[in-house]
Chains A and B, each alone.
Chain A
Amino acid sequence: MPSADLFLQYIVAGMMLGALYTVMALGITFIYSIMKMINWSMGEFYMIGSYLQYIFVIYVLGVKYWYLGVLVSAVSVFILGCILEPVVIRPMFGGFVERRTEYATVVTIALMLALRSAAYVLGGPYQRNPQTNLPRLTLGELTIPGERAVAFAGAIIAIALFYGFLRFTWFGLALRAAAQNRVAIQTAGVNIRRLDQLAFGIGVALAGVAGALLAPVFLVYPTNGAITTMKGFEIIIIAGLGSIPGALLGGLILGLVEALCSVLLSPGFQHAYGFLLVLALLLVRPYGLFGEREREV
Chain B
Amino acid sequence: MTTVTSALTTHALTRQFGGLVAVADVSLTIDRGEIHGLIGPNGAGKTTLLNLLSGTIPPTKGDIFLFGQRITGRPPHEIARQGLLRTFQIPRFFGQLSVRDNLLVAGYALNPGWSHRRRVERAEALIHLTTLERVASLPAKQLSGGQQALLQIATCLMSERAQVYLLDEPFAGVNPLIKDIIMRLIREENRARGVTFVIVSHEMAVIRQLTHRVTVMGGGRIIAQGTLDEIARNDLVIRSYLGSSVKELV
List chain A positions with a Cβ less than 8 A from chain B: 96, 170, 173-174, 176-177, 180-181, 183-193
Contacts and interface: CB of A to CB of B under 8 A. Distances in A.
Interface stretch (B95-103, B177-185, B187-195): B95-103
Contacts of B97: 173, 176-177, 180
Contact of B93 (A173, A181, A186, A192): A181
Overall SS of chain A's interface: helix
Given A173-B101, A173-B105, A188-B106, A180 B95 contact: yes
Given A96-B58, A183-B56, A188 B155 contact: yes
Closest 3 interchain pairs by CB? A189-B109, A189-B80, A184-B92
Contacts of A177: 94, 97, 101-102, 105
A183 to B, nearest CB: 6
Contact of A174 (B96, B109, B110): B109
Contacts of A176: 94, 96-97
Given A176-B97, A189-B81, A190-B105, 4 more contacts: A173-B97, A176-B94, A187-B92, A188-B77
Contacts of A96: 57-58
B58 A183 contact: no
Contacts, number: 73
B86 interface: yes
Nearest to A184: B92
Given A173-B105, A180-B95, A180-B96, A186 B77 contact: yes
Nearest to B140: A180
Interface residues of B, number: 28
A176 to B, nearest CB: 6
Contact of A170 (B86, B94, B108): B108
A288 B48 CA distance: 37
Nearest to A182: B92
A176 B86 CA distance: 21
Nearest to A96: B58
A10 B96 CA distance: 38
B75 interface: yes
